[in-house]
Amino acid sequence: MENMTRFKTYTLMEPHNAKSFRYIYFTGFLFLYAMILFLNIWLSVVIVLEKALHEPMYIFLCNLCVNDVYGTAAFYPKFLHDLILNSYVIPSYMCAFQAFVVYTYVMCEYSILAVMAYDRYVAICQPLDYHSKMNKFSCSILLGLCWVIPFLIMFIAVFLSNRLVPCRNHIDKLFCDNWSIVKLSCESTVINNIYGFIFISLYFGLVIVIMMSYIKLISACKASLECRRKFWQTCVPHVISLINLTVAILFDTIYNRYGSSDFPVNFRMFLALEMIVVPPLFNPVIYGIKLSEIRKRVLKLCMNCTKDDKD
């Protein structure tokens, strides 16, 4: 223990053929990040500005978009900076902060999707009780829990990982995450493993609860054409977002825990980036296409902007 020293910096995985293709990588990821920011911020602005969209479902969607902007801010600016300088180094305190943001982003995403599933369940299965159950107070409490619980969980996780003294300083990913930091230590990580297993189980249990609620919704919608139409229009985007995020997290968890350096480099990069690229990019697109109210308001704002430019 006395011979162990804390590293002030960690090295990150270098993208495949980074020296040859770093400007191509930079252009591609800059475009991706710009698209993510534009789509999520635009959708959030539409929901905030349009009073007709000040309903629980759209408020939850706005929080989902804000969370996507929050999560991607932990990765893209740092990665673009690394590509420009061709230097894949991160200070240890920034690594812990990046891991904190990435994990809270994922947990907040699941929490918000769970609340959205509950909202749709009440709207379709208990329409007469909808306004009493999904009032301003209950929505505020649900959203507060969506943000506060992940932050508390991650404060503890980061504290547990920071107490470990690393004996290596290379993280085999393009960004820091908590498990990668824990793996750098040569000390016992039993407590970290148990804590990680508990909160991973908690959130995968949450996924099962969400999927069960959608199964109940599907069976409840069989009897009514109006219910089926409402389910198809408002619930299908939630299901797609949930599957999309779960597949991404499953890939990342399996690779983190059991991944091998024998995997092809491109495949390892895909596993590492899927949860940072796909959900934030496709969530606003899926909801924008499927939700008719969002579609109408976006078109209305676009037409208003076009008229203002002409004037």
Average pLDDT score over residue span 151-176: 89
Give whichever of 23-27, 45-49, 123-127, 165-169 has the largest mean pLDDT.
23-27
> Residue 95 in contact with residue 13, Cβ under 8 Å?
no
pLDDT of the residue at 121: 84
> Residue 154 in contact with residue 104, Cβ under 8 Å?
yes
pTM: 0.87
Q: What are 24's two structure tokens?
A: 């191509």
- The pLDDT tens digits for 211-247 are 888 888 777 777 677 777 777 777 777 788 788 788 8
Give 166's strand partners.
185
> Residue 208 in contact with residue 215, Cβ under 8 Å?
no
pLDDT of the residue at 77: 95
Residue 138 binned pLDDT confidence (cut-offs 50, 70, 90): very high
Each as own residue / partner, the long-range contacts of residues 14-17 (CB below 8 Å, 24 or more positions apart, any chain) are 14/88, 15/83, 15/174, 15/269, 16/265, 16/266, 16/269
167 CB-near residues (< 8 Å, 6+ apart): 4, 184, 185, 186
What does residue 168 show for φ and ψ, rounded to 5 degrees? -135, 165
Give whichever of 70-74, 186-190, 198-202 has the largest mean pLDDT.
70-74
Cα distance between residue 285 and residue 36, in whole Å: 10
**Domains of the chain: residue spans and CATH:** 9-309 (1.20.1070.10)
> Residue 107 in contact with residue 153, Cβ under 8 Å?
yes
What is the distance of C-alpha 86 from the center of its chain?
A: 27
pLDDT of the residue at 8: 84
Report percent pLDDT > 70 for the chain.
86
Torsion of CA 200, 202, 205, 209, to 10 degrees: -140
Length of the chain: 311
**Taking 80 as the threshold, does the pLDDT of residue 200 lie above it?**
yes
Cα distance between residue 232 and residue 113, in whole Å: 16
- The pLDDT tens digits for 74-118 are 999 999 999 998 889 999 899 999 999 999 999 999 999 889 888
Cα distance between residue 133 and residue 141, in whole Å: 12
